[in-house]
Structure 1
Amino acid sequence: MKVHHLSGNPSLLNQFLAELRDVSIQKDSMRFRRNLERIGEIMAYEISKSLSFEEKSMMTPLAEKKSQLLSNQPVICSILRAGMPLHQGFLNYFDGAENGFISAYRNHYNNDDDFEIVSEYTAVPSIQNKTLLLVDPMLATGQSLVAIFRALTLERIPSEVHIACVIAAPEGIAHLEQYLPENCHLWVAAIDEKLNEHHYIVPGLGDAGDLAYGNKL
């Protein structure tokens, strides 16, 4: 798996990341969602550079003009619910893309730090021979992404796979490298220090779903 780390050089991406983490700014849920969306737009642009383009002709009011246009629109699949603002950012740029949604959450079956990944909802178009963009704001242990990737590719094989995460832990990246195919691409805005004893990213930003949409029961 090839890892693309996007925040290594100073850019506006770092401004949006800093605002996502800032506990005083996090109180504004609308701004938190918008920053996730803007990061999605930046990541969509960066990923687009690695996709296939073809030359097509069009008519302006004055003459014919040839341009390099995207060969095939991708399938954007996000993990509910935290992935929704990030998904919108990708959709703002890949505006002809097909869309998929899948749920995944940690089930702490013993009410301790042990958990299993549970997925109860899937609405995804065919990904056979298509470019799959799998987007999720946080890559902690990597277990949910591996489980979802396996479920999506059980019967249909995409032509290429790009996974986009805003913040990742080294442990999660290592888990993906161990269990996902070598030709997958992982795009990460920021790679943080570690996971803590509760499997949360440090320094991280907290629960992205709660910050975007409010606390859940």
Structure 2
Amino acid sequence: MKDHLTVVKHPLVQHKLTMMRKHDTTTGEFRRLLREISQLLAYEVTGELPMTTRRITTPMEEMDAPVLAGRKLALVSILRAGNGLLDGMLELIPSARVGFVGLYRDEETLRPVQYYFKVPTELGERLVITVDPMLATGNSSVAAIDLLKEAGARNLRFLCLLAAPEGVARMKEAHPDVPIVTAALDERLNEKGYIVPGLGDAGDRMYGTK
């Protein structure tokens, strides 16, 4: 991918995102919309996967048909909210390998604290797509990419639902080689580090917690 930031303007993405932003959208509807929008965003973030051909037989004749090349890609969820994007993407890419990075944000410092890390083998030979609905301060995202690079990942992309300018700038400074795909670039962060206008806490809205 050439651009560091890609904002997906597809009408279905934008419509579903608006429904997710509404404060009175139910937990069940929020999860459904997130699963649907994740598949549309997955279409964008996987648009340049390497291809090869395989000899197959159709009901009519043999042909050399296009198939994905190389190692199966890896999807890495930043827990817990990343699982909402992960679930939808796995429906589209069921053969993907899956990893998890457990990070929570210290509410005083806004810095990430790691509590879990489990990823597929041979990351250096895979496209690694890291998913988290919100790119806010960028601290958790940068920390997750740091860990993945330490584990050998070289070809990385970051997929989120919403991004703040501060988070995009932080990622570009720390990891300029990692393209970001998002459904919207919002205005700013508030004093508590939440995206504005945003949609609230994605994890709480997804799981019905406070």
The TM-score bracket by the shorter chain reads: over 0.9
Deviation at 1:101, TM superposition (A): 1.1
| Residue 59 (structure 1) aligns with | 57
| Number of residue pairs the alignment of both structures matches | 206
173, 184, 189: which one aligns with 1:190:
184
User: 2:106, 2:112 within 8 Å by CA — same for their partners in 1?
Assistant: yes
1:144 to 140, 145, 162: 140
Deviations 1:162-199, CA, capped at 9 Å, x for gaps: 1001000000000000000x332110111000011111
Number of the residue aligned with 2:16: 16
Give the aligned residue type for 2:87.
Q
In 2, Cα distance between equivalents of 1:128 and 1:121 = 20
In 2, are the aligned partners of 1:169 and 1:201 still within 8 Å (CA)?
yes
The code of the aligned residue for 1:92 comes to E
Supply the distance in 2 between the matched residues of 1:188 and 1:2 (Cα, whole angstroms): 11
Contact 2:110 2:193 in 1 (8 A): no
Match of 1:129 in 2: 125
Provide the TM-score with structure 1 as the length reference: 0.90
Paired AA for residue 163 in structure 1: F
Partner of 1:121: helix, strand, or coil?
strand
Instruction: Please say if 1:69 is aligned against 2:67.
Output: yes
TM-score (norm 2): 0.93
Tell me the residue number matched to 1:208: 202
Q: Check the 8 A contact 1:56/1:68 in 2, yes or no.
A: yes
Per the alignment, in what secondary structure is the counterpart of residue 34 of structure 1? helix
Q: Deviations over 1:125-147 (max 9, x none)?
A: 12122110000000000000101
Alignment equivalent of 1:166, drawn from 144, 161, 164: 161
Q: What per-residue deviation string (whole Å, max 9, x for no partner) do you get for residues 97-151 of structure 1?
A: 000111111113xxx4x33211101121121221100000000000001011111
CA distance in 2, matches of 1:74, 1:147: 21
Separation (CA, whole Å) in 2 of partners of 1:3 and 1:118: 26
Q: Retained in 2: the 8 A contact 1:34–1:85?
A: no
- The amino acid that maps onto 1:140 is A
Question: Are 2:10 and 1:5 equivalent residues in the alignment?
Answer: no
Instruction: Please tell me the residue identity of whatever aligns with 1:20.
Output: M
| Cα distance per residue 1:70-104 (max 9 Å; x no partner) | 11321000011111121011111111100011111
Cα separation, 1, equivalents of 2:187 and 2:83 = 25
- Structure 2 SS opposite 1:128: helix
SS at match of 1:120: strand
The 3-state SS of whatever aligns with 2:41 is helix
Give the counterpart letter for 1:24 in structure 2: D
Q: Give how far 1:214 is off.
A: 1.9
Is 1:98 aligned to residue 97 of structure 2? Answer: yes
Tell me how far apart the structure 2 counterparts of residues 91 and 81 of structure 1 sit (CA, whole Å): 16
Shift of 1:15: 1.2
Q: Which amino acid aligns with 1:43?
A: L
The one-letter code of the counterpart of 2:140 is S
Q: Residues of 1 paired with 2:63 and 2:90: CA distance?
A: 26
Instruction: Give the whole-Å Cα distance in 2 for the aligned partners of 1:167 and 1:106.
Output: 17
- Give the Cα–Cα distance (whole angstroms) in 2 for the partners of residues 100 and 169 of structure 1: 25
Matched, 1:178 2:176: no
Q: Which amino acid is the alignment partner of residue 163 of structure 2?
A: A
